[in-house]
Amino acid sequence: MGRPIVAIVGRPNVGKSTIFNRIIGDRLAIVEDKPGITRDRIYGIGEWVDQEFSIIDTGGIEIEGEDEIMRSVRMQAELAIEEADVIIFMVDAKAGVTAADEEVAQMLFRSKKPVVLAVNKVDNIQRQDEIYEFYSLGFGDPVGISGSHGIGLGDLLEAAAKHFPENKDEEYGEEVIKVALIGRPNVGKSSLVNAILGEERVIVSDVAGTTRDAIDTPFEKDGQKYVIIDTAGMRKRGKVYETTEKYSVMRAMKAIERADVVLVVINGEEGIIEQDKHIAGYAHDAGKASIFVVNKWDVVEKDDKTMHQFTQKIRDHFLFMTYAPVVFVSAKTHQKLHKLLPVVNQVAEQHAMRVQTHLLNDVVSDAVMMTPPPTDRGKRLRINYATQVSVKPPSFVFFVNDSDLMHFSYERYLENKIRAAFGFEGTPIRLFTRRKSDDE
């Protein structure tokens, strides 16, 4: 099952984004320097005592216009109530309890979800006394924190972690491929699910998912077992989701976390929009195998170049996901639908592939010989050896003389050489460096 989900909620200017950034720390640096990733960061990964959790900064979701502020806050609270396991309700020690705080408190109180009350801007010991008035909101002991000074975050995360759901083992065996369909509204996800399940009378049985309202549909085709993790269809659609497309990202989170293979569904009729990039980026960040599925291909006027041109557009827009294959289908007419599951099988296999250490080092040695690492201030990177440390996604550690000498461009070069030698189609791969002397 996926990570616990924590949402930070509160009225504007209480410091939600500062706390969000402190909790996720420098993890952003891993992905933000990659070309082609352009999206609002309202979701990240935090960690507390070896337990990873997903965290949502609802402050990243805004509605323009001053008169819309309270409406925006209400929507953010509604989002947190629907999606999160634990809610951090943030207020401002300097401002005291406001009418807006009380309104948010009422919504959260009715939700029956666990709430941790965080009083921000408690920057010094004198301010500690100011947290007591917040007991009136009805959420027990407030936790005094300071986003600007990083005070109290440990206490805050400890309080939140007490409410994390038990991490039950995934109920499906290793042989089952878990598939999630993600995409903005109206790209045809539901009809694509129905088309996949309806084709050639595959064996279907509905099972209510054990993971927070997702609906899992197990089925079998040609001897391979699958589970489709549905992100939308069966759940009540609150007004919150119809108002802004950003919320569709949140719905996709839980499904992405649990999936092996993510189908990024794009509307072939409308083409690619910025929101598609946002959503696909989350699958990439989560290290999942991915396939671009261009739906509604039956209604696109085309000639012998159209498919190639559309594929090139995808490559141009999603520079950070050049590894993901592209499949053109029509859920309505079932055109080319038979090609989809074989590609799913292929990328699932590549996602879980392990390379023998001696073969990997042969490839790395050849790569270094062909193009030696550049020098940096008179020093040159030396790679002693490399080894694969995990799968899903395939991850490699390079033991080197100095990690700082591994430049992004050379890392990309090595990744390309590894892909050329072993494939890894459809899956991101992770490369890490470690100083040789650190090796126990």
* 55: phi then psi, degrees, rounded to nearest 5: -130, 135
CB 229 within 8 A of CB 178: yes
Say if residue 41 carries a ligand binding annotation: no
Q: Are residues 86 and 188 in the same domain?
A: no
Please report the pLDDT score of residue 215 as a whole number. Answer: 65
**154 known ligand binder:** no
Is residue 194 a known part of a binding site? no
* pLDDT recorded at residue 243: 44
Question: Do the annotations mark residue 167 as ligand-binding?
Answer: no
Same domain? For 21 and 122 the reply is yes
Separation of alpha carbons 270 and 237, rounded Å:
24
Whether residues 374 and 337 share a domain: the answer is no
Surface-to-core class of residue 316, CB atoms within 10 Å of its CB (0-12 exposed, 13-18 middle, 19+ buried): exposed
> Which residue, of 317, 351, 385, is where some domain finishes?
351
Q: Is 427 assigned to a binding site?
A: no
Is 14 annotated among the ligand-binding residues?
yes
Do the domain assignments include residue 147? yes
Identify whether residues 365 and 319 lie together within a single domain.
no
Mark whether 154 and 288 lie in a shared domain. no
Annotated ligand binding at 316? The verdict is: no
SS3 labels along 18-84? HHHHHHHHHHHHHHHCCCCCCCCCCEEEEEECCEEEEEEEHHHCCCCCHHHHHHHHHHHHHHHHHHC
184 annotated to a ligand binding site? yes
CB 406 within 8 A of CB 263: no
CB 421 within 8 A of CB 388: no
Q: Is 171 inside a domain boundary? A: no
126 and 150 both lie in a single domain: yes
Residues 143 and 188 in one domain: no
Residue recorded with tokens 């999936």: 259
Closest of 93, 88, 27 to residue 57, by C-alpha: 88
Flag whether 233 is marked binding. Answer: yes
CATH number for 89: 3.40.50.300
190 annotated as ligand-binding: yes
From 106, 58, 108, 62, select the one nearest 81 (Cα to Cα). 108
Predicted TM-score (pTM) of the model is: 0.71
Burial readout 377-405 (b: 16 or more C-beta within 10 A, e: otherwise): eeeebebebbebeeeebbebbbbbeeeeb
Q: Is 345 annotated as a binding residue?
A: no
Instruction: Pick the last residue of a domain from 128, 161, 194.
Output: 161
User: Quick one: 323 and 385 in the same domain?
Assistant: no
Identify whether 86 is part of a domain: yes
CA distance 111 to 235: 17
Binding site annotation covers 240? no
Q: What is the pLDDT along the chain (440 residues), one digit of tens a residue?
A: 567 889 898 888 888 888 888 888 744 433 334 444 333 456 777 888 878 888 887 765 544 444 566 676 677 677 777 778 899 999 999 999 998 889 889 888 888 899 999 999 998 777 778 889 999 999 999 999 998 888 899 999 999 999 998 765 566 788 899 999 988 777 788 788 888 887 543 444 444 333 334 567 888 889 999 999 866 533 334 444 444 444 555 667 778 888 999 999 999 988 888 778 877 888 898 899 999 999 999 988 888 899 999 999 999 999 989 999 999 999 889 889 999 999 999 999 999 999 999 999 999 999 999 999 988 888 999 999 999 999 999 999 999 999 899 998 999 999 999 999 999 999 999 999 998 764 44
Determine the distance from the C-alpha atom of residue 143 to the mean position of all C-alpha atoms in its chain, rounded to a whole number: 28
Residue 265 is labelled as binding a ligand: no
Identify residue 218 by its one-letter amino acid code: P
**CB half-sphere exposure, 200, CA atoms < 13 A:** 7
On whether 15 is known to bind a ligand per the annotation, the reply is yes
Are 343 and 378 in the same domain?
no
Q: What is the pLDDT of residue 65?
A: 47
Residue 123 among known ligand-binding residues: yes
Q: Is 73 annotated as a binding residue?
A: no
Residue 11 marked ligand-binding: yes
Contact residues for 96 (Cβ-Cβ < 8 A; gap 6+): 130, 133
Domain contains 169: no
Q: Is 281 annotated as a binding residue?
A: no
> Please, what's the largest Cα pairwise distance for the chain?
73
Angle, to 10 degrees, between the axis of helix 153-161 and the axis of helix 16-24? 80
168 part of a folded domain: no
**Is residue 32 assigned to a domain?**
yes
297 carries a ligand binding annotation: yes
**Do 215 and 127 have their domain in common?**
no
Count the domains in the chain.
3
Domain range for residue 371? 357-438
Per-residue confidence (pLDDT) for residue 372, from 0 to 100: 93
In a domain, 57, yes or no: yes
Residues 11 and 141 in one domain: yes
Whether 26 has a binding-site annotation, put simply, is no
Tell me whether residue 225 is annotated as binding: no
Instruction: Spell out a b/e string for 182-198, using b for 16 or more CB atoms within 10 Å of the CB, else e.
Output: bbbeebbbeebbebbbe
Residues 209 and 114 in one domain: no
What is the model's pLDDT at position 345?
Answer: 97
On whether residue 314 sits in a domain, the answer given is: yes
Tell me: is residue 63 an annotated ligand-binding position. no
- Cα separation, 240 vs 250, whole angstroms: 11
Residue at which a domain ends, from 305, 320, 351: 351
